[in-house]
Amino acid sequence: MFTSFLDELGILVTKSLICYLQSDREKSEGLPVAPFMDRDKVSKPTAQIGFIKFVLIPLFELLNKVRIAVRTAFLELPLRASQSVYR
């Protein structure tokens, strides 16, 4: 489990470096740079706040809705009913 965590961490670090390398190249070519990819403008706290606000919270709100829908549609209604038929 710890090894997979380290693998995931390595992937995240690599992706972060790739974003910075991309923005460095865009700057050198005079192209516009996305604010969240600009190593000179992004700060860890603002990046984390944005990630939590715009990615994690909506994701987990949606997952919770899906969980409730799956529970209702599959577990509570047909599966429990089927189970009672075969008892």
Q: So where are the chain's domains?
A: 1-41, 43-87
pLDDT tier, 16 (very low <50, low <70, confident <90, very high otherwise): low
Handedness of CA 42, 43, 44, 46 (dihedral sign): negative
pLDDT, residue 39, reads 78
> With 70 as the cut, is the pLDDT of residue 9 above it?
no
The torsion defined by the Cα of 32, 14, 43 and 30, in degrees rounded to 10, comes to -20
pLDDT, residue 22, reads 83
Place of tokens 């997952």: 63
> With 80 as the cut, is the pLDDT of residue 86 above it?
yes
Q: Quick one: tokens of 40?
A: 């000179």
What is the value of pTM for the model shown?
A: 0.49
d(CA 21, CA 19): 5
d(CA 54, CA 32): 22
d(CA 34, CA 26): 10
Position with higher pLDDT, 37 vs 7:
37
